[in-house]
Structure 1
């Protein structure tokens, strides 16, 4: 089968198409013919050597795919050859075929394009585990206020849609009038142009001075203090990215006064059992929204698998709204 091999060029131009034996599904696994593979910032970090694959995962990129079931391993029930599914992976999605635990599959609803469905699993699982899970995340509830940084990104665009559909008031940041308009179309109540507006001031005005209940942050250190300012009493700051730094000073007095919490999480390094629980939560709480059309995949571009390096360049440019999907 064809797959995308990392050759060591940090810019992503060292991603080349190569050949290897197709995987064989083990016990509890299924084999998928890949229709599309989602491209994520984590893939760029892996190519740059800053986010290595877990020991039990393939060493080439790809954390989510969609396709059809080509074979099933021992012990798999409820899944058959030809089924349309999306899958959360630990790695190896940039390929023509992947083997994945059956517990990490989500059925692709009839009204959703199979290729575009590849843009959903990683975002859905990240958003559910970070925002809605009461054990792992912020326990977001209907009627609360949510601030999403980067509403035009792959995770952000999913979070805005899902939160809106579940009765949450959504504020999001975006760069420029066009992106702001598209975020409103996805369901954002308030959009902050981070190039010219202060999101803390906008949040205060929108919430009548109370602040938001939850912040979903991909920025990291540069926004830590201001995120805390934007939180209301009992607020939760959920950090899932470090785009602008790892280290910052935290005012503990403000944290205590607001009775706030700071949560940090990653998805890829979780053991299989935890990932299965996350996928089950998505299937229960968020996937019905996809089936109903209330949440849709937001795909900026479809590109051939052989052009994975160019896809990384496009994502790195900051011009992508939603996701890029690679097509074997």
Structure 2
């Protein structure tokens, strides 16, 4: 098959479509012919050598896709079935082997390309805000990077759950996108210190920045507040005064989706389909695709995502 690979390990932009081996199925896996694959910041990190796949997973980049089952293997699924897939790797190829528990139906009314744009963000947002934090009506949620793939999805889901949504973004245009999606509190992080606006107001913070924002995030949390760190774009090390956590009973959690066990991912997939897919089907939450590229132009898609000019998701079409 053809797949995207780095042709120069020292150049993260050296992504080329090359011939490689078609995946061999393990028990409980299906072979999916990929129609489209979402582009995620984790893909950029992997290309730079900073986010390797878990042991045993495909070395090919790509954390989500949608396509058609080519070989059901031992699963009892049907050849020709359209599916969306949560992956530990392999999305940037013509075919990918997928554990059955990580298959999702195509949301009603969605094309395969549209489905490929929502798998990773839906599973990430729901597993952290719905399953882990227990977001409920009336709470206030702060979402960093509100105009990105995670952010645009999280805004909509939080509003559907009855939350007040605050966001940070780096331009008036991106903040306007957030407002159109339902965000209530808009903060330009280049001009404002979000913690001054939100001191003691946030029940949950979904953070992609890590060290850079830790102190401000803690100042922004309300009593019993939860900080959920899912990215480290702002660094991995900082110092905090632990005394700031105790009086307000604050919780700091770090999570990732890719490194979970097969059973853990299957549970996330099941719960996401049960709780989020109906919102996609009736349009209460919708995909937000910024642009699509042919698979052969993966390098251009990575360059665009890295530029910071993307609102929503980028998708590669095979």
Is TM > 0.5 for Structure 1 vs Structure 2? yes
RMSD, matched Cα: 1.4
8 Å contact from structure 2 (residues 38, 64) kept in 1: yes
Cα distance between partner residues in 2 of 1:138 and 1:6: 37
1:298 aligns with 2:296: no
2:249 paired residue number? 259
Cα distance between partner residues in 2 of 1:146 and 1:91: 30
Residue 169 of structure 1 and its aligned partner are, at CA, apart by 1.1
Cα distance between partner residues in 2 of 1:327 and 1:75: 26
Alignment equivalent of 1:147, drawn from 142, 145, 159: 142
Cα distance between partner residues in 2 of 1:9 and 1:24: 25
1:156-178: CA deviations, max 9, x gaps? 11111111111111111112111
8 Å contact from structure 1 (residues 10, 47) kept in 2: no
2:120 paired residue number? 122
1:322 aligns with 2:317: no
Change (3 A) 1:8 1:258: farther
Cα distance between partner residues in 2 of 1:215 and 1:305: 34
8 Å contact from structure 1 (residues 12, 312) kept in 2: no
Cα distance between partner residues in 1 of 2:124 and 2:69: 24
1:43-102: CA deviations, max 9, x gaps? 1111111111112111110000011222201133xx422222211001010011111011
Alignment equivalent of 1:202, drawn from 163, 173, 197: 197
2:221 paired residue number? 231
Cα distance between partner residues in 1 of 2:138 and 2:83: 32
What pairs with 1:78-117 in structure 2 (closer than 5 Å)? 79-117=77-115
1:47 aligns with 2:47: yes
For normalisation by structure 1, the TM-score amounts to 0.93
For normalisation by structure 2, the TM-score amounts to 0.96
Cα distance between partner residues in 2 of 1:142 and 1:80: 40
1:205-250: CA deviations, max 9, x gaps? xxxxx51100000011110000000000000000011101101112
Cα distance between partner residues in 1 of 2:188 and 2:223: 25
1:15 paired residue number? 15
**What secondary structure sits across from 2:141 in the alignment?**
strand
